Structure 1
């Protein structure tokens, strides 16, 4: 089945930009935002702004390295080269772990979503179907994957814009205004004030807030399959954080102006509440289309990212060599197959997990995400220290506010680890994370052969003819 040894450059700037948007706009916004609001009240807006700023610094650090050397496996190989093979092993497999956790949640959620329309069909049939479908898409030419992700992301973005416009119409013209509460900016400061649960509530909300931004680092993994990484990667990175902040902050601002913060989520998804207020009787069906799209998009992006990560790590000797096998279209088919099989096993395990486990799953995913982001930031700092002034001056996409920006971002990531451990609801994530790192330590000692020389192989893809 293997007829080529290099990934194919088939992702355009449009594909990469919307892949990053699609990865970061999903469950964290459509459902997780209600939990974040419950924890912090209207002050959750501050948490999203701070979290978004930190994520932007991570993306700029990743962008600096990805443009300087676009390779398969991205931040795992950067960590290996600048911090040592062990760091790369930890970063790469923790990213795969993160993607698996999120995928397990999303494939199970997809089964629940489909039950709204087909209650008589067993849930496992839908789960099996979506895994096979997404696996097949990921085996096609990377351009097919990029095109699908583009249109799925468009649907989600249109839904968010519709909610913002609909919410603004409610505020301005009083459509569907309920009699039991006022509509307007005053809702942000009543019902206990702007920060009803104090600074502690804002800090606690970071567990869900940072989960919401997780997945955006996939943009670095696309570098080896981007047609023109010197142009497409900087454009995507510079555009996405601003848009995500706009979608998250503006959406939640409108939502909390329409409803008192302590009522949000009490009647289901915040999206349903908005559409119900507009008098749309099919609000549940509209929401179902959106969340199904979000789930498919997230699964699609996560399998892609984890697969490419394992492909790059296999070249480094940190994953089975079988993961380097490619189809004639330049797609690592073995990694896609392995991810799909693991998800099938995970689906069986998910039947044992109750629906209210969202916060636990989000917390564990947050631990993995923050660890990966920390590795990206530290790798970029290590890269800069090894470069000459001339090499630094020649960087095409240097990180801003150097060195203060990356250092502050590193401190913030360490702070999030402390947040996970401090609050009882999220402490299990820290326990699971520590156990995971211990397992990786043993796996590295037992199975990974140390490289003969400190070299950085070049797995750059060939351009599309």
Structure 2
């Protein structure tokens, strides 16, 4: 998400490192901090853990409409996540179309610089996924969620490998890391760790009967995309 937004930033050299730090701090506070707080307040034997622990805490301190408040917060959170997904997906479609990987029409921008057709296609796909959760929750929607999980893990696997290979090739070409505007810390340990964790996650997905469909569909699809790119686009670049 940060990388996608960097393309529309006026000063990515400054804003991207700041965004990474701020995002990390926010995630630590929201996720780890919340878990620590809940674990400290609610006893493990509390029967009210069957419902939302947040609702339980708010109810215990006599805050009225606790469940309604939490539902509103959850709705805003989900809407925010969906909005971020639409933003990132529409920009990715534009980027792929701009590189002639997808139909050129998806690269069309409005006068405000918004990828209109990519945005429409993203929203349409999101609505179809939403309808599948209502009309086919145990088949289509389950497969979509599994494939989404696979896609996230696979993308991070590629990111780790791309970063590792980029730094190696950059140094091999006679450059120095001092030339880089931003240097990811703990190289090469960090990308290697990312690759290992992602591979272990893929193994875990393969052993999960509910998620295995993602491997069955995702791996062949990724291989086909790679072969197609190698045969068509690399050959085209070579001729140019």
With the length of structure 1 as denominator, give the TM-score of the two structures: 0.46
Hey, what does 1:431 align to over in structure 2?
213
Hey, what does 2:37 align to over in structure 1?
254
Deviation at 1:412, TM superposition (A): 1.6
Hey, what does 2:206 align to over in structure 1?
421
| Structure 2: tracts of 5 or more residues without a match | none
- Using the alignment, how far apart are the partners of 1:253 and 1:360 within structure 2? 33
Hey, what does 2:51 align to over in structure 1?
268
Is 1:307–1:335's contact at 8 Å kept on the other side of the alignment?
yes
Is 1:367–1:430's contact at 8 Å kept on the other side of the alignment?
no
| 1:307 paired residue among 86, 90, 100 | 90
Q: Does 1:453 align with 2:237?
A: yes
Q: Does 1:226 align with 2:9?
A: yes
- Using the alignment, how far apart are the partners of 1:316 and 1:334 within structure 2? 16
Deviation at 1:441, TM superposition (A): 4.0
| SS state at 2:183 partner | coil
Q: Does 1:375 align with 2:158?
A: yes
Deviation at 1:259, TM superposition (A): 1.6
Q: Does 1:406 align with 2:191?
A: yes
| 1:289 paired residue among 47, 72, 82 | 72
- Using the alignment, how far apart are the partners of 2:214 and 2:65 within structure 1? 41
| Structure 1: tracts of 5 or more residues without a match | 1-217, 456-465
Is 2:129–2:141's contact at 8 Å kept on the other side of the alignment?
no
Report which of the two has the higher share of helix.
2
Hey, what does 1:322 align to over in structure 2?
105
- Using the alignment, how far apart are the partners of 1:264 and 1:249 within structure 2? 23
- Using the alignment, how far apart are the partners of 2:148 and 2:176 within structure 1? 36
Deviation at 1:433, TM superposition (A): 3.1
- Using the alignment, how far apart are the partners of 1:363 and 1:410 within structure 2? 20
- Using the alignment, how far apart are the partners of 1:381 and 1:309 within structure 2? 22
1:376-412 deviation per Cα after TM superposition (whole angstroms, max 9, x unaligned) = 1110111112213534221121111111222122112
Deviation at 1:231, TM superposition (A): 0.2
1:335-385 deviation per Cα after TM superposition (whole angstroms, max 9, x unaligned) = 011112223333332212459x99987654332211111111110111112
Is 1:368–1:433's contact at 8 Å kept on the other side of the alignment?
no
Give the count of matched residue pairs.
234
Q: How does 1:201-216 map to 2 (within 5 A)?
A: none
- Using the alignment, how far apart are the partners of 1:291 and 1:264 within structure 2? 22
1:84-115 deviation per Cα after TM superposition (whole angstroms, max 9, x unaligned) = xxxxxxxxxxxxxxxxxxxxxxxxxxxxxxxx
1:64-98 deviation per Cα after TM superposition (whole angstroms, max 9, x unaligned) = xxxxxxxxxxxxxxxxxxxxxxxxxxxxxxxxxxx
With 406-415 and 344-353 compared, the bigger mean Cα shift is at: 344-353
| SS state at 1:453 partner | helix
Deviation at 1:264, TM superposition (A): 7.8
Is 1:374–1:413's contact at 8 Å kept on the other side of the alignment?
yes
Is 1:272–1:284's contact at 8 Å kept on the other side of the alignment?
yes
- Using the alignment, how far apart are the partners of 2:10 and 2:111 within structure 1? 18
Deviation at 1:324, TM superposition (A): 0.5
Is 1:417–1:430's contact at 8 Å kept on the other side of the alignment?
no
CA distance 1:419–1:445, shift in 2 (3 Å): closer
- Using the alignment, how far apart are the partners of 2:149 and 2:44 within structure 1? 24
1:201-239 deviation per Cα after TM superposition (whole angstroms, max 9, x unaligned) = xxxxxxxxxxxxxxxxx1111111012100000111122
